[in-house]
């Protein structure tokens, strides 16, 4: 369960304050995979970072009774001067999982070859995304936060990413940001739509998608 309590977040852009989340109060139940929908710039990635605890709100609280991944696709957790293997071991220690087991899984999954043992600063954006996705899928979380990461890589890697993600959400919840409605329907059971600082829950995923697409058409 994730609870938003009087949650507000805003940014100042060119001297103008933009409210991303405005006094949000909502409870998201456990055991359900949700599509987080909204226009570009609506604040979806910002909301994911606040849920993960990597970005602080202006005011209010986010409460949870389970473990939550960092937003897959967000690479801020990596130390640029450490190798992929060293970053993997470091994160394993933070989350209390077997570092050797996680390293073996990630090295095999990410498919970045010798770069796994090179500093992350030498990685392309795609390599960092593969590393982030591999580490998060190698750790058991109650809720996975996913931001477009299954779009990374060639067709074979995308299939592998979808397969491992599908396996993880059999026993966990997820909040998924994606512009691919086919992917949204494949993984999600309900939707939440972020628009003008407000978040609305839709039990009917098709209704959420329809309202999202109507906003895009405006």
- Per-residue pLDDT of 68-96, as tens digits, reads 998 875 555 689 999 999 999 999 999 99
Last residue of some domain: 140, 155, 187? 140
Last residue of some domain: 106, 140, 174? 140
User: Are both 65 and 145 inside the same structural domain?
Assistant: yes
What tokens appear for 74 in the block? 């967000």
Chain mean position to CA 34? 11
- Contact (CB, 8 A) for 188 and 34: yes
User: Are both 88 and 147 inside the same structural domain?
Assistant: no
Q: How many domains does the chain have?
A: 2
User: Are both 125 and 135 inside the same structural domain?
Assistant: yes
User: Are both 101 and 147 inside the same structural domain?
Assistant: no
User: Are both 180 and 128 inside the same structural domain?
Assistant: no
Last residue of some domain: 121, 140, 159? 140
User: Are both 136 and 170 inside the same structural domain?
Assistant: no
User: Are both 125 and 190 inside the same structural domain?
Assistant: no
Q: What are phi and psi of 178, to 5 degrees?
A: -160, 145
- Provide the domain limits for residue 116: 78-140
Name the strand (E) or helix (H) holding 41: none
Q: Report the length, in residues, of the chain.
A: 218
Task: Give CA–CA dist 131/137, Å, rounded.
Answer: 10
CATH of the domain at 55: 3.40.50.300
What per-residue confidence (pLDDT) applies to 151? 59
Residue 113 DSSP class:
G
pTM more than 0.85: yes
What per-residue confidence (pLDDT) applies to 76? 58
User: Are both 35 and 123 inside the same structural domain?
Assistant: no
User: Are both 119 and 169 inside the same structural domain?
Assistant: no
What per-residue confidence (pLDDT) applies to 4? 97
Residues of the chain with pLDDT below 50 are none
User: Are both 207 and 168 inside the same structural domain?
Assistant: yes
What per-residue confidence (pLDDT) applies to 156? 85
What per-residue confidence (pLDDT) applies to 116? 97
What per-residue confidence (pLDDT) applies to 71? 82
Quick: pLDDT tens for 127-162.
988 898 899 899 999 999 988 756 566 788 888 888
User: Are both 58 and 149 inside the same structural domain?
Assistant: yes
User: Are both 59 and 158 inside the same structural domain?
Assistant: yes
What per-residue confidence (pLDDT) applies to 149? 56
Q: b vs e for 78-99, b when ≥16 Cβ sit within 10 Å of the residue's Cβ? A: beeeebbbbbbbebbeeeeeeb
Task: Give CA–CA dist 79/166, Å, rounded.
Answer: 29
């Amino acid at each position: 369960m994730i609870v938003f309590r009087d949650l507000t977040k805003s940014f100042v852009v060119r001297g103008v304050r933009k409210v991303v989340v405005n006094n949000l109060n909502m409870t998201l139940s456990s055991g359900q995979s949700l599509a987080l929908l909204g226009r570009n710039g609506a604040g979806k990635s910002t909301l994911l970072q606040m849920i993960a605890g990597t970005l602080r709100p202006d005011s209010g609280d986010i409460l949870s009774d389970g473990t939550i991944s960092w937003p897959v696709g967000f690479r801020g957790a990596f130390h640029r001067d450490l190798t992929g293997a060293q970053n993997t071991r470091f994160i394993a220690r933070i989350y209390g999982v077997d570092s050797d087991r996680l390293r073996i899984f990630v090295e095999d999954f990410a498919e970045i070859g010798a770069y796994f043992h090179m500093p992350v600063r030498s990685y392309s954006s795609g390599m960092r995304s593969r590393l982030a996705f591999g580490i998060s899928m190698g750790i058991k979380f109650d809720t996975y936060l996913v931001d477009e990461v299954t779009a990374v890589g060639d067709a074979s890697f995308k299939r592998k990413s979808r397969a491992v993600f599908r396996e993880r959400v059999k026993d966990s919840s997820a909040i998924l940001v994606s512009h691919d409605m086919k992917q949204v329907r494949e993984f999600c059971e309900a939707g939440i739509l972020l628009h003008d600082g407000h978040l609305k829950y839709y039990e009917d995923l098709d209704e959420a998608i329809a309202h999202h697409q109507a906003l895009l058409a405006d």
